[in-house]
Structure 1
């Protein structure tokens, strides 16, 4: 049997559909029963309602050892998708606790229960920092602790350290580092918020550059890696490196709404970040634009996907076409 953590999130929910379509016996963790409704709605969106009842749901938390004891009974493979994504400095401790300590717990149970293989969902945020003489980030680019990183990036890097510890202790592992993941059904979180904001009339764009990937590619690659003899490796999962302006334009065109009109310069983003800090500290509002988020909006990072393409001989879905596809679901 296969265990999926984070089965009520974008990656985990899509992974559940994919695994069930491939005939896998699946157990999934949930913390709050209400969260499973989002996963059920996704199955309905894809007209896969009949598959949903095949999931063996079990209430648990990656920080709660007793519930993990129940979840790991009879498990042979684990897909660790659970994580907290936040760029709010006030949530730094919680982000690190969930992403690092939670991953350590998963690794420890995999070792103690003799799990055959673990697939960990990391992020391109956990990849390295380019030295001046290089231009493309790969799986081999070294992490530089002296460079600025978001709390989220640090937490995902720390989580990977736990995965490599598991490898050293005899656990077969693979790590995937997706870029910005695009997929339907979760329009109020992650990349889905960008679709919602554009639909509601987002006026500004930035000219930062990063890697994007379709969720269907992510879950398919994860399953292929788990079925393969490959282990002890990490793989960057991106389809294309895209300028944020072009990405937002593609969303607007697919939704048939106005494109964002104004260029938010780095200076403007930094000013907005400071105003956001004031609103958070004076009025107690949740941070919407942290310093790290502002910086990432105009950072231009190029990522290579050659390693995974060569390992599995795959062709990635074009992100711009995928945007059109999911807006019509």
Structure 2
């Protein structure tokens, strides 16, 4: 039996759909954990979006929390493989304690239960945020790029790096593991977070863009490749999952074209982004509101990071969905 954590998030929900669709060809049964009954509705809505509601009931749902050890005991009964997708994604410094607790301590708990229950293989859905920092002579980030603790990192990046250290600890203690590091994940549903929020902002008339770049990947590729790796003999490796390195301007333009709305027209230069995050900090202090734009998001918006996907393409002989085409497809799906 397969256990999926984070099944009420973008990646976890799509992974559940992928896994239960595979049940018809003899795959294992699937169990997913949840924290609140209401959160399950987000996953159910995704199944409805793909017209797969009939498959939703094949998932065994169990209430548990990755930082609540007693609740995990029942979750691991009868489990052979684990996909660990659960995480908190936030760049608000006020969430530092929560991010580290969920992402690092929660991952440590999952690793410990995998070890004590002799789990066959654990796949951890990490992030390109946990990859290393380029040295002066390097131009593209790979799985071998070294993490430099002397360089500034967001709390989220630190938490994902710390979580990966827990995964490698499990590997050293005899657990077979896989780590995948997706780029910015594009996918339908979940309009109040991640790429869904990007679509929403563009639809609402976003006027600003930046010229930073990052690696982007379709959620369908993330779950497909993760599943292929888990069903292979490959273990104790990490793989960067990105389809293309694309500028934020081009991504926003593709979304605008797909939604048939106006493209963002105003280029915000780095110095202005530095002003914006400071103003946002002042407003958050004065009005005691959640940060909308932080120093970390400002830096990411104009950083021109380039990532390599050569390792996964070589090992699995696979390719990726074109991101611009995928945006068109999921935009029609949203309708």
Normalising by the residue count of structure 1, what TM-score does the alignment of the two structures yield?
A: 1.00
In 1, the alpha carbon distance for the partners of 2:261 and 2:310 equals 35
Tell whether 2:92 aligns with 1:60.
Answer: no
1:282 positional shift: 1.2
1:122 positional shift: 0.3
- 1:11 is matched with which residue? 11
In 2, the alpha carbon distance for the partners of 1:279 and 1:285 equals 7
- 2:113 is matched with which residue? 109
- 1:269 is matched with which residue? 273
In 1, the alpha carbon distance for the partners of 2:13 and 2:304 equals 30
Task: Return the match for 2:240 from 225, 229, 236.
Answer: 236
- 1:222 is matched with which residue? 226
- 2:91 is matched with which residue? 87
- 1:206 is matched with which residue? 210
- 1:295 is matched with which residue? 299
In 2, the alpha carbon distance for the partners of 1:244 and 1:237 equals 18
| Deviations 1:176-220, CA, capped at 9 Å, x for gaps | 000000000111101110100000000100000000000000000
1:61 positional shift: 0.2
Task: Return the match for 1:188 from 184, 189, 192.
Answer: 192
In 2, the alpha carbon distance for the partners of 1:292 and 1:180 equals 15
Tell whether 2:78 aligns with 1:77.
Answer: no
| Deviations 1:228-263, CA, capped at 9 Å, x for gaps | 111110000000000000010000000000000100
1:315 positional shift: 1.1
Tell whether 2:291 aligns with 1:283.
Answer: no
1:281 positional shift: 1.0
In 1, the alpha carbon distance for the partners of 2:138 and 2:146 equals 12
In 1, the alpha carbon distance for the partners of 2:195 and 2:93 equals 20
- 3-state SS of 1:82 partner: coil
What is the alpha-carbon root mean square deviation over aligned residues? 0.5
Task: Return the match for 1:247 from 221, 246, 251.
Answer: 251
Normalising by the residue count of structure 2, what TM-score does the alignment of the two structures yield?
A: 0.98
Tell whether 2:30 aligns with 1:26.
Answer: yes
Aligned length: 329
- 3-state SS of 1:114 partner: coil
Give structure 1 stretches of 5+ with no counterpart: none
In 2, the alpha carbon distance for the partners of 1:218 and 1:313 equals 15
1:66 positional shift: 0.8
In 2, the alpha carbon distance for the partners of 1:19 and 1:310 equals 24
| Deviations 1:29-85, CA, capped at 9 Å, x for gaps | 000000000100100100111110000000000000111001000000000000000
- 3-state SS of 1:14 partner: helix
In 1, the alpha carbon distance for the partners of 2:66 and 2:39 equals 16
In 2, the alpha carbon distance for the partners of 1:90 and 1:146 equals 22
1:16 positional shift: 0.3
Task: Return the match for 1:317 from 316, 321, 335.
Answer: 321
In 2, the alpha carbon distance for the partners of 1:160 and 1:213 equals 20
- 3-state SS of 1:145 partner: coil
- Which 4+ runs in 1 deviate beyond 3 A? none
